[in-house]
Amino acid sequence: MNLATDLCGIPLASPVLNGSGTFDAIAARRAFGDAVIEEFPFAAYVSKTITRHPRAGNPPHRLWETPSGMINSIGLPNPGLDDFLTGILLEFTRLPVPLIVSVMADSAEEFAELVEAVSAVSGVAGIELNVSCPNVHSGLIVGEQPVETEALMKALRPLTDLPMIIKLTPNVANPHEVAAAAEAGGADAISLINTLKSMAIDPANGRAWLGAGAGGLSGPAVRPVALAQVRAVSQAVEIPVVGMGGIDDAESALDFILAGARVVAVGTENFRDPRAGINVKNGLEGALGRRGFASLADAQASTLS
Amino acid sequence: MPTERPQAPFNRRDCRVAESHAAGGYRIFTLIDEEGPEPAPGQFYMLTTSGAAPGFAGRPFLPRAISVARVTGSRGSLRLEFLIDEVGPGTVQMAKLGSGDSCGLAGPFGSPFSMPKELNPDAVGAVLVGGGIGIAPMAVLRRHLVSRGVPTRTLLGFRDQAHSGGVDELFGCEETRLAYEDGSSGHRGYVTDLLLQILTGDDTGGAVIYTCGPPAMLEAVRVLAAGHGVPVELALESPMACGFGACFGCVVPKTGGGYLRLCVDGPVVRGDEITTAMAGEAAVGVEKDVRTRSE
């Protein structure tokens, strides 16, 4: 079965991407060798989030296991824009799939700098905007506020011809309103969900376990929440939706497509199985057939009753 | 030439359990890996069991990072022996595995121990310091060094007899010096007492130290080694989700700022790469969680 599709003009051999920050292609190549490149697990590669300046990330502890999931509090460690442009970005552009660069900033000015710099590099197919960070001017988390979100998109839209995908936080009551505002501001696609705000208590001393106090929940534990939000958002916008949240096999990936996502992303499952993306893709034909779809396009076009 | 780091097959593969038995208060179980390369000493695997452990509310979810304790056979039919202590849902499930069962395996991962001359061109011998469950990588390293003719002294420390499983089997009758905190055998006290005797008694100019064990022991060894100007490599532990650099969860602060990922920059690090070994706290967030255990 032909699983080829596209995401706002980016051609994809299958509808399976990775969630940002859940697969380090360079570290994976070090661990597994060239097999990772020859059998690259995703139809497009979404980079770990890059910020203007280097970040070391949060102090340990950074992980906590939950039933059917985990909490992470990583804190977006990255080399910063300058080193990214001259270093790992060049390695990413040599991957055999389209590259989507994830960026985050705490002001529209810094976002603009990131978007312009990344757009100037040949081999970048798209930009994902991580808007789960407070704006230094307003103190508000951009992705939680429709007004802030639309203003940011309008500021960035003239700066690039590349598709801009906005990654939404699930920690809001109205994700569909934020998504509609992003669309009105010029976003080309919506991706969701990011992790659910959560925490863990250290059984040894009764204090917060994570070094940063709180973190984000991911894995199959969040899948029903993610499905509901993907459904609500895809009904509210015309632009395509990248659905994610606890996808661990082809059946759960297809659930997201039926909820309204055009393509999906695998995140936490990559930690459990480095071939998770391949397994999801390879299982899609069977999953589509079992649910009576003749093609991926049929499933993408279907609407839940 | 730096010690070569074998690369893992790009997969998580189901491996047959050949054998499992109690060893003191621990268990040793053996997997047959038909695909992977022989691991270098210090490397680890990610092990995945199926099903939830009773009393642990749906866990384990993540694979568990476990150092290999002995490797026999050759590529195509490697026998990997793991020393495990049932401290949480992952190891509880592993302990249930018996001959003929299957266990998910990914790896080998991580940085291996260096050979002594890579750490000190004048090295003439190695001192291995292991504690508790941390004796596993010391057992692999000891065999590796001895088979290459490196004079090796081994010091092992345990809380008590119940926490010294595997010592006879993994180190056999080879010459080792033991310390028990409860005085039930060997030296009464800490294994670092034995290390201090060596560091103060000998000409240590040609020595290199390797160590693995609980954080407090590692930190004591790191400080002693630094104080005597002896190179040291430590195998650290941290909560870890993936084992191959994807999650950025397994970090420890590195000298000069920032963090090392123990799965790709470690688990073996030089003493001067870190400011403290205490940060590499046992993998509590992923594995140990006695509070939720109702058994």
Query: B144 Cβ partners below 8 Å, 6+ apart?
Result: B41, B113
Q: What is chain A's mean pLDDT, rounded?
A: 95
Query: pLDDT per residue over A259-288, tens digit each?
Result: 999 999 999 999 999 999 999 999 999 999
Contact (CB, 8 A) for A178 and A211:
no
> How far is A269 from chain B, CA to nearest CA, in Å?
9
Q: What is the DSSP string of A59-119?
A: PSP-EEEETTEEEE-----B--HHHHHHTHHHHHHTSSS-EEEEE--SSHHHHHHHHHHHH
Q: What is chain B's mean pLDDT, rounded?
A: 90
Q: Which residues on chain A are in Cβ contact (under 8 Å) with B289?
A: 65, 203
A274 to B242: CB separation less than 8 angstroms, yes or no = yes
B285 to A270: CB separation less than 8 angstroms, yes or no = no
C-alpha B32: how far from its chain's center?
19
| pLDDT band for position A178 (cuts 50, 70, 90) | very high
Contact (CB, 8 A) for A144 and A134:
no
Contact (CB, 8 A) for B165 and B135:
no
Question: Which of B4, B10, B47 to mutate against chain A (most A CBs within 10 Å)?
Answer: B10
Percent of chain A residues topping a pLDDT of 70: 99
Locate the chain A residue with the closest alpha carbon to B59: A67
Out of B241, B257, B261, closest to residue A63 by CB: B241
Locate the chain B residue with the closest alpha carbon to A218: B61
Query: pLDDT per residue over A105-164, tens digit each?
Result: 999 999 999 999 999 999 999 999 999 877 777 777 899 999 999 999 999 999 999 999
> How far is A244 from chain B, CA to nearest CA, in Å?
17
| pLDDT band for position B168 (cuts 50, 70, 90) | confident
Residue A303: predicted pLDDT: 75
B285 to A64: CB separation less than 8 angstroms, yes or no = yes
A61 to B285: CB separation less than 8 angstroms, yes or no = yes
Q: Which residues on chain A are in Cβ contact (under 8 Å) with B253?
A: 59
Q: Is the pLDDT of residue B284 over 60?
A: no
Q: Is the pLDDT of residue B1 over 50?
A: no
A22 to B247: CB separation less than 8 angstroms, yes or no = yes
Locate the chain B residue with the closest alpha carbon to A22: B246
Complex prediction ipTM: 0.94
Residues of A labelled catalytic: 133
Sign of CA dihedral B177, B179, B183, B187: positive
Out of B7, B62, B248, closest to residue A272 by CB: B62
Q: Which residues on chain A are in Cβ contact (under 8 Å) with B242?
A: 270-272, 274
Residue A204: predicted pLDDT: 85
Q: Which residues on chain A are in Cβ contact (under 8 Å) with B12?
A: 272-275
| pLDDT band for position B2 (cuts 50, 70, 90) | low
Out of B249, B253, B258, closest to residue A62 by CB: B249
Contact (CB, 8 A) for B154 and B175:
yes
Nearest to B253 by CA among A273, A57, A53: A57
B61 to A61: CB separation less than 8 angstroms, yes or no = no
Q: Which residues on chain A are in Cβ contact (under 8 Å) with B48?
A: 272-273
> How far is B209 from chain A, CA to nearest CA, in Å?
26
CA A132 → CA A169, A170, A196, B288, distances in Å?
Answer: 6, 10, 11, 31
A63 to B250: CB separation less than 8 angstroms, yes or no = yes
Residue B164: predicted pLDDT: 85
Q: Which residues on chain B are in Cβ contact (under 8 Å) with A56?
A: 257-259
Average pLDDT on B254-268 reads 95
Out of B48, B52, B245, closest to residue A24 by CB: B245
Query: pLDDT per residue over A226-236, tens digit each?
Result: 999 999 999 99
B241 to A28: CB separation less than 8 angstroms, yes or no = no
Q: What secondary structure letter does DSSP report for B12?
A: -
Query: pLDDT per residue over A49-66, tens digit each?
Result: 999 999 999 999 999 999
| pLDDT band for position B293 (cuts 50, 70, 90) | very low
> How far is A177 from chain B, CA to nearest CA, in Å?
31
B63 to A33: CB separation less than 8 angstroms, yes or no = no
Query: pLDDT per residue over B118-133, tens digit each?
Result: 999 999 999 999 999 9
Separation of alpha carbons A181 and B35, rounded Å: 51
| pLDDT band for position B281 (cuts 50, 70, 90) | low
Q: What is the pTM of this model?
A: 0.95
Helix, strand or coil for residue A201? Answer: strand
Q: Which residues on chain A are in Cβ contact (under 8 Å) with B281?
A: 60-61
Residue B283: predicted pLDDT: 43
> How far is A110 from chain B, CA to nearest CA, in Å?
23
Q: Is the pLDDT of residue B101 over 80?
A: yes
Out of B246, B249, B286, closest to residue A28 by CB: B246
B249 to A270: CB separation less than 8 angstroms, yes or no = no
Average pLDDT on B72-85 reads 96
Contact (CB, 8 A) for A146 and A181:
yes
| pLDDT band for position A103 (cuts 50, 70, 90) | very high
Average pLDDT on B263-280 reads 90
A57 to B250: CB separation less than 8 angstroms, yes or no = no
Q: Is the pLDDT of residue B82 over 50?
A: yes
Pairing mode, if any, of strands A263-266 and A241-243?
A: parallel
Separation of alpha carbons A6 and A43, rounded Å: 10
Is the bond into B66 cis (omega within 30 degrees of 0)? no
The number of beta carbons lying within 10 Å of the beta carbon of residue B35 is 13
Locate the chain A residue with the closest alpha carbon to B293: A203
Average pLDDT on B214-242 reads 94
Q: Is the pLDDT of residue B156 over 60?
A: yes
Q: Is the pLDDT of residue B15 over 80?
A: yes
Q: What is the DSSP string of B128-187?
A: EEEEGGGHHHHHHHHHHHHHTT--EEEEEEESSGGG-TTHHHHHTTS-EEEEETT-SSBE
Q: Which residues on chain A are in Cβ contact (under 8 Å) with B290?
A: 203
